[in-house]
Structure 1
């Protein structure tokens, strides 16, 4: 009797063990499958993805990228100078980014500590920039767009520090005309900002585009289309200090262009030149042989 009970218990234990092992194996296979599908996936390349297909966006990118790349390069250098710069540093900045008009170093009261060139080509008011002290204390940059009888100038300010305390600004300034010349077609590009018009383009619509309510429009998006000033403009925005710059171009012409038909390959011309045979030549008869 005891042997029978022991055998039954052993069989039951084996059955439970085998059932558990089977469940564990199933769960392990499912876990491995999920891991391969969602975590450690095999990389693939989608060669069918054509990227940006909107001709308007392609046109805008071609126009503003050469401009924006140079602006970003200058901002990286300016933003990395967090101590009072020497005059040699300022001169090197102007040499490297030759579209800049000048560099001025001022303290927190607006007193000029140094500048290149030594005599600026136009008077500059730094008081509105200095009003953004809270930004500079947390190492953020500031900017202004100023338009007067002498034209438009863009000022970009980066803070510098002494003993980890905000001590003043390094201000780089430039005429937008010197920067937009790097575009492939400056006349087709318009640049506005939340501070006013930066570059009007060549079609006379800059003022109307700058007058739009960009502060409200930029709350929800950094890129879009807008029908205004008699055109269909595609635009892209980016920050410059606390301001936002907006690059625009009229996309009607490029979007209405019909794709050019694919050219059929010309048939290969038949050659009249005879190709030599590759058959072996016959062996000449031996003249000494008997007929």
Structure 2
């Protein structure tokens, strides 16, 4: 239920300003192990910068959340209408596809793209029947990264392949009102640098295991600058949003 509670928290942040932004290790475990509960009487964000961070990442994270939910609830092979509806509801996606467990394409709808798509990146880890979660993979190319979200589909409790959506992070980032203020890491790779240029490469060198051990958000220091960060779990990987703290706090 982790993803659901985080989504609810982000909705709460955007609409009412309430949050459980301050966290302890025990509270983090509650996100993972219990049904979601939102305390609408929780204190507000610590400062205007945290509120600003929440608001600029909300539009794109909300859209991503909706895509993840659509994938989460689809555990069997859908009809063609499902694929067409995904592209209609989420026009920032580059395409949708279904691939069998051998990597053969069963169905594909894609917007025009110069990128050569490679769905095999989804098979770098073993398919596990008992963990039907959405996994994220990033394909690098000279034309920029492509992000794949793949969800196993089943027949008779056996994995048959993946339902896949894919997108260019630059298009996805444009859903934010201030995308230049954000940097984004997925699968340990920088997929959107925002305005941070070379500095943003240092984000991927941080110990994410240590960062995420006690919380799903916080602050980190990079080259004498502080950054707010917020994370979302995607199977065994993390999607991490970052925004620089303005000087003067």
TM-score, with length taken from structure 1 = 0.66
Alignment-derived partner of residue 154 in structure 1: 147
Matched, 1:138 2:131: yes
Alignment-derived partner of residue 193 in structure 1: 186
Deviation at 1:68, TM superposition (A): 0.5
Point out where structure 2 has 5 or more consecutive residues left out of the alignment.
1-39
Partner SS for 1:151: coil
Partner SS for 2:77: coil
Alignment-derived partner of residue 240 in structure 1: 234
Q: Which has the larger radius of gyration?
A: 1
Point out where structure 1 has 5 or more consecutive residues left out of the alignment.
1-44, 258-291
Per-residue CA deviations over 1:115-137 (Å, capped at 9, x if unaligned) read 00287642222333224334454
Deviation at 1:230, TM superposition (A): 4.3
Q: Distance in 1 between matches of 2:48 and 2:204?
A: 24
Matched, 1:213 2:196: no
Residues 196, 210 of structure 1: 8 Å contact kept: yes
Residues 121, 138 of structure 2: 8 Å contact kept: no
Alignment-derived partner of residue 222 in structure 1: 216
Match of 1:86 among 74, 79, 82: 79
Residues 137, 165 of structure 1: 8 Å contact kept: no
Residues 102, 120 of structure 1: 8 Å contact kept: no
Change over 3 Å in CA distance of 1:214–1:194 after alignment to 2: farther
Matched, 1:54 2:34: no
TM-score, with length taken from structure 2 = 0.76
Partner SS for 2:145: strand
Q: Distance in 1 between matches of 2:245 and 2:184?
A: 15
Deviation at 1:90, TM superposition (A): 0.8
Deviation at 1:192, TM superposition (A): 1.3
Alignment-derived partner of residue 13 in structure 2: none
Per-residue CA deviations over 1:154-186 (Å, capped at 9, x if unaligned) read 100011111221111001000011111111211
Q: Distance in 2 between matches of 1:74 and 1:247?
A: 18
Change over 3 Å in CA distance of 1:87–1:118 after alignment to 2: farther
Which structure has the higher relative contact order (CA within 8 Å, separation 6+)? 2
Partner SS for 1:69: helix
Match of 1:117 among 110, 118, 122: 110
**Which runs of structure 2 are paired with 1:270-289 in the superposition (5 Å)?**
none
